Chain A
Amino acid sequence: MAGADSDDSLYPIAVLIDELRNEDVQLRLNSIKKLSTIALALGVERTRTELLPFLTDTIYDEDEVLLALAEQLGNFTMLVGGPEYVHCLLPPLESLATVEETVVRDKAVESLRKISHEHSPVDLEVHFEPLVKRLASGDWFTSRTSACGLFSVCYPRVSSTVKAEIRQHFRTLCSDDTPMVRRAAASKLGEFAKVLELEYVKSDIISLFTALASDEQDSVRLLAVEAGVSIATLLPQEDLEALVMPTLRQAAEDKSWRVRYMVADKFSDLQKAVGPEITKNDLVPAFQNLLKDCEAEVRAAAANKVKEFCENLPEDSRETIIMTHILPCVKELVSDTNQHVKSALASVIMGLSTILGKDNTIEHLLPLFLAQLKDECPEVRLNIISNLDCVNEVIGIRQLSQSLLPAIVELAEDAKWRVRLAIIEYMPLLAGQLGVEFFDEKLNSLCMAWLVDHVYAIREAATCNLMKLVEKFGAEWAQNTIVPKVLGMANDPNYLHRMTTLFCINALSEVCGQEITTKHMLPVVFKMSNDQVANVRFNVAKSLQKIGPVLDSNCLQTEVKPVLEKLASDQDMDVKYFAQEAISGRIKKMKRNRK
């Protein structure tokens, strides 16, 4: 930082602080966001002795400003003189960690966690750990909440006496009077357990976990579920049954649906954490119950996990468990009363075919797929169609094609444009799996119909879809099937359809190659340069710019250039503008090519 001092006099702190105190919040915010610049102007010493005390003393501001400050201070280590002085940042961050607004507090904690790593072990004990203790025993719940997030970062690097104190503080917060603090503690329990020695995990953490998991507030209990999963990964297999399973079992049957939802949501992690034996004995029945839960929210969360759960079952008994325990529940979910349950299931059910193999898929899963393909809810059908690839690998898509077609046609004509959009996106995939013959016969007309949809987003997606189809089926196919139809639209009375021709040409020229573009497309584009609608004409200019790279330079010079020049003298401003753009863009390109 040599040479810093010489400039200091230029920037009296008063001026800078004036900026931080400006009446206009926006200006204050701007100044805080450039706090590092101010610190730099002051140099490390004055930042420590003047700027930081000012910030610490005057923390009463709009939360937005405080948030920016909390974030800045996390990156301030070098600006106060490096790790040796990093503890100077603690006082302002401590104040920020007690603020009411959650986002400010969380950011302050995040910054504190960050700079904790820059403390030496000695500084950690002398400066950082006392701060954590102060926060942990603060009067108002906010500081205690913040403390919860700081234990795990200092624990691994302090002496055993201090460690014991930290554990004690954490214990106290787990049984805090206010549910806000207990929630914060519950959400950090897993993280804290990870840095503790195994003996303390067993002696301390388990009892805290058990207590939080049976808290009177379900918002606390559900946070304990996630902690339970983390704790389970830390314990040796032989301790799991006695130490965590009773509590987890209880959570899976909690009277609050939110807790059960959480269990369902974390089910795959839980399964991995407890291993195959407990999975077989405990998780399978628990999973069945969740799939049959009385609340749709819980069933949907569980349905989402069906594939992952089955995949991770121990291989020796996987098929039996699925066939006898899981599949019956899945069958019921196919005709669930709630569409979100059905659609959650539809998004994963196809994955079961790889696990169960060809015969089981044909006998047991296929009827379910077919039922879901006929579901009244478009989202369910879409989810099935979007996962066809899994089935294709196992039994081939032909098995489904009879039912597939009506489903696709219906989605293609759905009244909601987002549904139509979604099915368009799967077209290239379907085309690849169903083959060119099937496609030409059954689906081609749909793809063309989308080009004249009344919603722009659909026409746009349809254009892009054509490009992907040509990538799959080749230029020759394009020339025989879609190009004539696309070009035919150039004579449509509706100017939007005529523009669609241009958009298609933009998308297709490159994949179709120079010959098709020059021979078939370009004449149509030229003809459209005389269109009576200005929007069509300026899109001609844009198209010519776009397809320029595909054409040879001779064609550009002798044919394209005159057309653009004519358009450049059009009476319409926009046409002129885009024609000129195209000309200058083209010139640039030619110059580049010459190089």
Chain B
Amino acid sequence: MGYSFPEEALEHVLWFLSSDRDRNSVSLVCKSWYEIERWCRRRVFVGNCYAVTPEIVIRRFPEVRALEMKGKPHFADFNLVPEGWGAYVYPWISAMSVAYPWLEEIKLKRMVVTDESLELISKSFKNFRVLVLSSCEGFTTDGLASIAANCSNLRELDLRESEVEDLSGHWLSHFPDSYTSLVSLNMSCLGSEVSFSALERLVARCPNLRTLRLNRAVPLEKLPNLLRRAPQLVELGTGAYSAEIRSDIYSNLAEAFSFCKQLKGLSGFWDAVPAYLPAMNSVCSGLTSLNLSYATIQCPDLTKLVSQCHSLQRLWVLDYIEDSGLEALSASCKDLQELRVFPSDPFGAEPNVFLTEQGLVSVSEGCPKLQSVLYFCRQMTNAALITIAKNRPNMIRFRLCIIEPQVPDYLTLEPLDTGFGAIVKSCKELRRLSMSGLLTDRVFDYIGTHAKKLEMLSIAFAGDSDLGLHHVLSGCDSLRKLEIRDCPFGDKALLANAAKLETMRSLWMSSCSVSYGACKLLGQKMPRLNVEVIDERGPPDSRPESCPVEKLYVYRTVGGRRIDMPGYVWTMDEDSTIEFS
């Protein structure tokens, strides 16, 4: 009674499947479906570069056209991961240069990329189209010159937030005159000035240019020259947004903006001068994304600008917006989905702006589509959090950073357990949560009980005991990434929930109370986890087993222990022995 579903038919159906999860499910149906699927997978996402090796990926998926990969743990953004930790992309580029000659896209996050890697990319992949380096480091503008010179089919070059050694702006001039396919360029992280005439000519000859994010060094007076040559721009990042106050500069700028009828996103605005803000008025009503997080403009200029952007879906801004500006935002921007408020004076002892919990409450009240929040402030109450939770059960990402660690509800002096508890109870689709303020084990009980869709949790200076960690590991069914710093979590919860760690991408714990002995035991028990101890004090063997490790990074892997660890990282292997003293 057998029948055979023709392979070609299945392949045709799979063509429509882009989601990795769906494709992974297809692969599990039977051996032949596994085979068919693996030959037609074109896009691979590797969430942790050490979870697998290039050889394994290439062996399973021989016809890949696009690779997206992430390296260092998230806390590397805040200098918690020492220099030289790893996440080198070169071995991947080297292997793919042979296996995937038709590779078109490489998107990397938090990886170390060298000029050598960039040169190899530029020479190995004839149809290379997209390079996105997000929060990467290790390369110079010479590497960029290779890309510009050799990738004749390049569509996208996006260096967002990468740390580039800026030798000169000359790299941009390496795009040949015959090169016309640029669609997206993000060079906002670079310091040096590029040749403006080279930039102008590049923009003029690339009719498909949609995204242009300039760096600070591009002067405001010259921006109109670029806008006039690219009125089809959808996303623009300005350079420095200040110039001598002159009416000719102003009118030139305003006119150039008025030609850009498709503009949906704006960013840049370094050193913004309020006098030039109204030059943007013609584009405000169409903007869906506005990043003012480098602009040190204050209310009322800031409020006035934001209130004009009625279609805004995403706003990134400094806390100069204050409660009053957020209230205006909540009245004007009913389509707002994402709000990020960054601190203008993160290390100041006293508040420098009038931004409190009330600002966030206003936005949660007025913006029905608000689902993603990153908010830095200096005070919070349980009542405010409860109100926010009640207003916005559709919240998906909620990251609250109260600048002073372990600060309680400033009205009741209680921990913020009930507030965050309300968030996880009400926001049933919550996928990401970062907490701060004074928090006891109780909040983790709430999280373990209610946060069933939670995928990423960030904890700092919180909890009382191992029970807190146990609640999270045993209760959060969807947890993929857990990062913890300065919490009194130790061996018991970790060892009791060892199996859970294989269902997650990674666990980071720094300045906690996990002993070296427990790390060894975990490494022994769980061969499919890499248990890496990071300790800059020297070999953990030189200290008693009960001594807590500085940092611990645990991740599931099919690639075995990694071979590129620096001197301060030790992998706890199956064959490490435990001494009982």
> Do the two chains bind?
no
| A residues whose Cβ falls under 8 Å from a Cβ of B | none
